[in-house]
Amino acid sequence: MERSRHYLVFVSIVLLILLFASILFFHYKAYLLVSLLMIASIMIPFFVRFEWRDVAGREIVLLAMLAAIAAVGRVPFAGLPSVQPTSFIIIMAGIVFGAESGFIVGAVAAIVSNFFLGQGPWTPWQMYAWGMMGMTAGLLRQAWWMKSSWGKCLFGFAWGYLFGWFMNMWIIVSNIEALSWDFFIGIYASSVYFDLAHGLSNVFFLAVFGAGWMKILQRVQRKYGLLE
């Protein structure tokens, strides 16, 4: 567990450096390559480790299904900015199946959903932000406050803002020549409504569907011995 946690922290730092480097050196021209490198960085060791176990195929299929549900769940809500069940599914995956699984579901859901909504230089940033959302949910799942409904809702609300604040960074970095305090404050001030909508939608889905999803996913985990 401790080794896996150190690996996740190391990979998250490397991917963050990769995001900034892709803008500074490639000027958004290699965003799909960066997206694939991000997936490879987290998933190759994951798959290698699973090759040692008999249930590897079942576990991979389960994560693929969760990522697909999270991705498709974003599409019907495209007309409502920042309101979607994607973050809820990613958080639940992290809480039930762990930090590594949460990161994979978040990263894959971002790139798959953008096949419907449009790929762009924002894709790797969304992959990282949603991946970190799932990873932190997994890392904090044993905290006493995360075991309560209000704790999960608080976590989801906070990540509604953290996701938006992180996504603002790619706009700032891509316009680094125009960087000023007015520009910086203006970007973050303009995202307050969208961040609030994201946070409140997370609270809604976690409060209404969180307990039901938790029981279903835990039952699947126990029945088939997956990702324990």
Give the domain 2-224 fold.
Arp2/3 complex 21 kDa subunit ARPC3 (1.10.1760)
Residues 62, 68, 70, 71, Cα dihedral to 10° = 160
Q: Domain residues of the chain, as ranges?
A: 2-224
Contacts of 226 (CB under 8 A, 6+ apart): 55, 58, 59, 62, 97, 220
**Which pLDDT score, from 0 to 100, does residue 55 have?**
47
pLDDT digits 0-9 by tens, 41-72: 666 665 555 555 544 577 778 888 999 999 99
Is the pLDDT higher at 60 or at 206? 206
pLDDT digits 0-9 by tens, 1-17: 555 566 667 777 777 77
Share above pLDDT 90 across residues of the chain, in percent, rounded to a whole number:
39
Of 31-40, 129-138, 207-216, least confident by mean pLDDT is 31-40
pLDDT score of 191 more than 50: yes
